[in-house]
Amino acid sequence: MMNHSARLYEQDVNAWAEGQVFLLKQGLTQALDVEHLIAELEDMGKSNLRELESRFIILIAHLLKWQFQLDTLTTRWRDFEAKSWRNTIIEQRAQLLFLLKKVPSLKASLQLAMIDAYTDARCLAIRETNFPAETFPADCPYSVEQILDEDFYPRSLAMP
């Protein structure tokens, strides 16, 4: 039989969370829904890591397009300036730095998150450019420091 707190968790997680906060503030720790509280705290950490990886995917895909597609497009369309790519790169870097400021412990996960995100970033770049998969390196060609460096834009490479 499910108690009231567990039932509330299943029906309205925000109302449940408010109830747990109230119990904590009142010092009523014996009334806490410990099982779900643990699950939510674990999910919080996973959510931050998912955001880190998601931002890496978008940022790295745009860096790849910058490096491997820019020359092709500027040759084809003289007025192509890649403003939307630059804006996306700037935005994703800003969001990554903001996330790292708010959750500094994520710095320990940067290298692994970048490696994990690269496969999806490469696939995204392949789909968006329609270039052959071999165009893009199998492993991330950028360091974490380069990816986060506001002044780093990879040298543009003409298509072979």
Question: Domain segments of the chain: what residues?
Answer: 48-148
**Span 25-36, average pLDDT:** 90
Residue 41 burial (10 A CB sphere; 0-12, 13-18, 19+):
exposed
Distance, in Å, from the CA atom of 24 to the CA atom of 19, rounded to the nearest integer, reads 9
Q: What is the model's pTM? A: 0.77
Query: Residue 115 corresponds to which tokens in the numbers above?
Result: 């490696």
Give tens-digit pLDDT for 76-95.
Answer: 555 556 678 889 999 999 99
Query: Residue 18 corresponds to which tokens in the numbers above?
Result: 């408010």
Give tens-digit pLDDT for 55-80.
Answer: 999 999 999 998 988 766 655 555 55
CA terminus-to-terminus distance, the chain: 66
| Angle ∠(58,61,66) on CA atoms, nearest 5 | 125
